[in-house]
Structure 1
Amino acid sequence: MTALSPVPPRATAAPVSPWVLSAFWFGTAFHWLVILLSLVPANVVHFVGEARKGTFVGLLTVIGAVMALVIPPLVGAHSDRHGRRLPYLRLGVGVNLAGLVVMALAVSTLAGTAGFWVYVAGFLLVQFGNNFATAPYSALIPQLVPAAQRGRYSGAMGMLQAAGQLLGAVGALVVSLLHLPDAALYALVGAALLLPALVTIRGVGPVDGTVQAPAQQAPSPGSPSATEAAASAKESDSWLSLFSHQPFLWVFVTRALFALGQYSVQPFLQFYNRDVLGQGDPVRSNLFMLACIIVASIVSALIGGRLSDRVGRKPVIYAAGTTMAGAALLLLAAPSFGVALALAVVFGLGFGAFTSVDWALGSDAMPSERSFARDMGIWHVAFVAPQFIGGPQGALLDWGNAQGGNLGYTLVFGLAALFFVLGVVLVRRVPETRPGPA
């Protein structure tokens, strides 16, 4: 007898607390906020100077995006075949931590272009390890959580991500105020990644084995059930077939548009604080702005997730995307740092609502239980592939600013708003099925 592909059992009640299940997202949120929005911009200036900062930050973003684009689908498919998630999380976190050490050593001991490429090598290790860990881990929400509870779990995940970002901003601010070396901040990032990972590994461990059901006896050849099983397996094995599944296609497209909006602005906020708002300490003022965004997103994340279980995912997305687009445009006209902080709060309310629904909408759109990790990995591409826009946006920023009048920021922020609006318009194409009662 031949065995069918392992099919995870459908959950009737989530066996793990949403806070335990999403703990690792807290660590990754802390990790990436500090690296991408505090350490990388400052470290790039250290290596290459002011004149080329936008181009090299964009280049680093693109290089990292290559890893984030390729790894999740491949590792996710491998995880589906083996039916386990946590071994990938353990190994990935180890590689990630090694990359942080390389980056810290490069900043502490090297300078110039040669030092920058050592720094890039460490950044690639960080990207590889983090994506290796998160691809299979991403499958746990659709796999373990019933559809009617996914909004609540997605909201908890969004709230933990926002809390991780907030504490990351606070931690970076404290290190700045104490005038500690960058190595201290890298050590803090490593600890903030490792400890939540251990919480998730320990909490999910007892149910990780339920990912793979015992092999079942195959139907007789030629029977209707055998034909259906073969067709299902063939469809599950085809990556391109995912995009013939309308819910997945439109969720992928709209998530990519929201990510394009985010990555059009995110790498350059620190520069915006200095060049547009005239802040003498752009690192510190950027952290204050991020704190406003994150606190507001915490407020809206849990509310948005629970609300989406009642009214559906798309109405929350409509409100969130419109809010973010408006705030991005108004930031260009902010007359003072105080007004910019108020607009950051508005943007954060939209961002928190979006993240609270994002994973629930994506989980609802998965076409097959046979390939949760692979499909979530491919869906994750919609979030990481837009990081490539950091390269052209960085070059556009430098070109526009060279024309005078901070034109570069007008172009970059304007494009971000356009992407958010397109995401709102096209999410209407998602054929959402509202979850039933839990």
Structure 2
Amino acid sequence: MTTLSSAAPRVNPWVLSAFWFGTAFHWLLLLLILMPANVVHFVGQEQKGTYLGVLTAVGAVMALVLPPIIGARSDRTGRRLPYIRLGLGVNLAGLAVMAFAASTLGGMGGFWVYVLGFLLVQFGNNYATAPYSALIPQLVAPEERGRYSGVMGLLQAVGQLLGAVAAFVVGLLKLPVLVSFVLIALMLAVPALITLRGVPASVDTPTQASGGPTLSWRQLFAYQPFLWVFVTRVLFALGQYSVQPFLQYYNVDVLRQRDAGTSTSIMLLCIIVGSIVSALIGGRVSDRVGRKPVIYVAGTAMALAALLLLVAPSYPVALALAVFFGLGFGAFTSVDWALGSDAMPSASSYARDMGIWHVAFVAPQLSSAPQGALLDWGNAQGGNLGYTLVFGIAALFFLAGVVLVRNVPETAHTRAHAT
């Protein structure tokens, strides 16, 4: 297909991926710690799974629609940075609305104000990350994308680690919920400013995004590397979102932990420590041996961990399995972005195509609503059947992704050398 523009400015990988660090901190603390607790505050224990699933799914609709639209507009204008700035501002405004609702309001009236804030967060974050997602394929040569993707995966893992540490400290000190929202805002804004200041302004010249024809949606999905990367990313995300939103409830209902926030934070810390160990290594290895072998090992590890959590006899054993899952997740994350970047067919539509690929990340969040309802139904039958169902489904999704990633053409990550 097309090659990387030789005029693309070189950017330090740590600066380029700094904003991903901030978004990782943002989403871990918000989605996995604050939102589950806030939902219980608004709706009570009996319907917590259903309402959390609905809230996650509503946000996913925004994340599903916006990235391809904003990405296409960014490609047409040849600009990236103004979109990131505007999206960041809306995201911060949404966090303020959520903080207000969680701190001062209760009941269903407060819940709907909270939902409004969450929609603003989703709008702003996706408005910013759609053009931001185009920067690695636009600025990084194919032979270096594994390293850059590894740095991105490592920074995301460290951001998640700090998010879990922050949640633990806030819970330990019994600090007001407002403190957590302020931390999220700061940890999102500062890394974003590092990226905005560090990426050369020349990235916004229209010629930077040119190179090759813009494919129609039908042509894009007819291009085999993109098709299979998209399908397998959907499967891995389905596995992730079958379990991730309900970890806090799992700690209480299955592992019998009294402090839901603290026990979940420790489990997340274990996952993240494992992912940090494997993230940078996985990206570098994939530049040498290819992306798929790393995916095979990583996906299998995640599936095994999801299944073994069902029979974990104690909280310490569950923590050991969390580390094991993290090793797989870190390796997968480090390679995933490189695999997606390799599959982009045209330099003239990087932001749009990465926005469409981003749908594979967020569309599976829609499964949180039926998964939450399934969780509540299964647990009502007794024996924590709900957790058996959702964790078992997660393992099946991970294994399906491992099997189908074989269909990604071997030459996808070396296409630049073949044109």
Asked if 1:199 is matched to 2:194, the reply is: yes
Structure 1 Cα separation of the partners of residues 252 and 241 of structure 2: 19
In the alignment, which residue of structure 2 is the partner of 1:250? 228
CA 397–29 in structure 1, closer or farther in 2 if over 3 Å, else same: same
Deviation of 1:208 after TM superposition, in Å, equals 1.8
Deviation at 1:346, TM superposition (A): 0.3
TM-score under structure 2 length normalisation: 0.96
Q: Structure 1 residue 44: deviation in Å?
A: 0.2
Aligned match of 1:103 = 98
Is the 8 Å Cα contact of residues 8 and 143 (structure 1) preserved in structure 2? no
Match of 2:289 among 311, 322, 342: 311
Give the letter aligned to residue 288 of structure 1. I
Q: Could you tell me which amino acid in structure 1 is paired with residue 102 of structure 2? A: V
8 Å CA contact 1:8, 1:212 repeated in 2: no
For 1:51-130, list aligned pairs within 5 A.
51-130=46-125
CA-CA distance at 1:437 after TM superposition: 12
Offset of residue 207 of structure 1: 3.5
Equivalent residues of 1:24, 1:193 under 8 A apart = yes
Aligned residues: 415
Question: Which residue number corresponds to residue 333 of structure 1?
Answer: 311
CA contact (8 A) 2:5 2:208 kept: no
Distance of 2:389 and 2:258 partners within structure 1: 24
Between the aligned residues of both structures, percent identity stands at 72
Please say if 1:347 is aligned against 2:325.
yes
Kept in 2, the 8 Å contact 1:11–1:144? The answer is: no
Distance in 1 (alpha carbons) for counterparts of 2:217 and 2:365: 22
Matched, 1:292 2:292: no
Q: C-alpha deviations, 1:162-198, integer Å up to 9, x for none? A: 0000000101111111111110100000000000000
Distance in 1, matches of 2:304 and 2:161, equals: 23
Root-mean-square deviation (CA, aligned residues, Å) is 1.8
Whole-angstrom CA distance in 1 between matches of 2:6 and 2:336: 20
Cα separation, partners in 2 of 1:78 and 1:149, compared to 1, 3 Å: same
Aligned partner of 2:40 among 33, 45, 50: 45
Q: How far apart are the structure 2 equivalents of 1:432 and 1:297?
A: 26
Distance across 1 between alignment mates of 2:241 and 2:209: 43
Shift of 1:241: 1.6
Structure 1 residue runs of 5 or longer lacking an equivalent are 1-6, 216-228
Distance in 2 between the 1:405 and 1:240 partners?
47
Instruction: Provide, for residues 230-249 of structure 1, a one-character-per-residue CA deviation record: whole Å limited to 9, x for no partner.
Output: xx64xx25122210000000
* Structure 1 residue matching 2:199: 3-state secondary structure: helix
- Tell me, yes or no, if the aligned pair for 1:11 and 1:143 is still in contact at 8 Å: no
SS of residue matched to 2:200: helix
Question: Which one-letter code corresponds to 1:185 in the other structure?
Answer: S
Cα 1:238–1:410, aligned 2, differ >3 Å: closer, same or farther?
Answer: same
Match of 2:150 among 155, 159, 163: 155
* Deviation per residue, 1:134-185 (Å, 9 max, x gap): 0000000000000000000000000000000000010111111111111010
State the secondary structure of the residue aligned to 2:410. Answer: coil
| Runs of at least 4 residues off by over 3 Å | 11-14, 434-438
1:272 equivalent among 244, 250, 259: 250
Would you say 1:385 and 2:380 are equivalent positions? Answer: no
Mapped partners of 1:213, 1:282: distance in 2? 48
* Partners of 2:209 and 2:349 within 8 A in 1: no
TM-score under structure 1 length normalisation: 0.92
Q: SS of the counterpart of 1:212?
A: helix
Closer, same or farther in 2 for the Cα pair 1:347/1:403, shift >3 Å?
same
For residue 388 of structure 2, the aligned residue among 384, 404, 410 is 410
Verify the 8 A CA contact 1:141 1:150 in the aligned structure 2. yes
What does 1:108-257 align with in structure 2 at a 5 Å threshold? 108-210=103-205, 212-213=207-208, 233=213, 236-257=214-235
Structure 2 unaligned segments of length 5 or more: list them: none
Paired position in structure 2 for 1:400: 378
Using the alignment, how far apart are the partners of 1:165 and 1:183 within structure 2?
19
Q: Quick one: which amino acid aligns to residue 182 of structure 2?
A: A
Q: In the aligned structure 2, how far is the partner of 1:285 from the partner of 1:357? A: 29
Cα distance, 1:314–1:201 mapped onto 2, change above 3 Å: same
Structure 1 residue 20 corresponds to structure 2 residue 15: yes
